[in-house]
Amino acid sequence: EYRVRSSLPRPPDPITDRSDDGSLPPDIEQYTALPADFPQSVKTLAADVAGAGTPTERAQALEEFFHAPDAGFTYDLDVDLSARAQSQNAIRDFLAPGNRRGFCVQFAGSYAAMARAVGLPARVAVGYTPGTLDQTTGMYQVTNWDAHAWPEVYLAGRWVRFEPTPASPDQ
């Protein structure tokens, strides 16, 4: 048993996304790095999706891409990822039309990589959703089924959570 206290962060102010010269704090620079052999097709897709605008607008455009009805993304816990997940090109393969099925790990990792590809500092966080409220006790029950991964983008001096994972068909 444990207690949780949280607060909702205020949305970033698009005007103050970066310092006046556009630079990032030195400890945040590492969150823009990608491998030298990162697929060009993913970089191109990210640039097309994110477009121009403030960092906040580009981060939001990336999130909207995963939720667009015509994008073809589907939440699926039963997808066979055994071969694809171990591939050096797992993100490229997941983003290819016709392969866009997976769960939070694929969505969070792909979003974070696309954000980095357009210069947005991004990371993947893992934790749990709130769980299920027990009406009798008034307490939430959190199990392994409530585990979740999501991307965060550094905007206006703080990490902001995004949610590219589509809703489960069970929700």
Q: One digit per residue, pLDDT tens: the chain, 171 residues?
A: 667 676 666 555 554 544 445 678 888 999 999 999 999 999 999 999 999 999 999 999 999 999 999 999 998 887 766 655 556 688 999 999 988 988 899 999 999 999 999 999 999 999 988 889 999 999 999 988 888 999 999 998 899 999 999 987 665
CA dihedral 54, 57, 59, 61 (to 10 degrees): -140
pTM: 0.82
- What are the structure tokens assigned to 108, written together? 């969070």
CB-based contacts of 122, cutoff 8 Å, min separation 6: 31, 32, 111, 112, 113, 115, 116, 151, 152, 153, 154
- What are the structure tokens assigned to 6, written together? 């949280």
Assess contact for 93 and 84: CB atoms under 8 A: yes
Q: Give the integer Cα–Cα distance in Å for 46 and 61.
A: 10
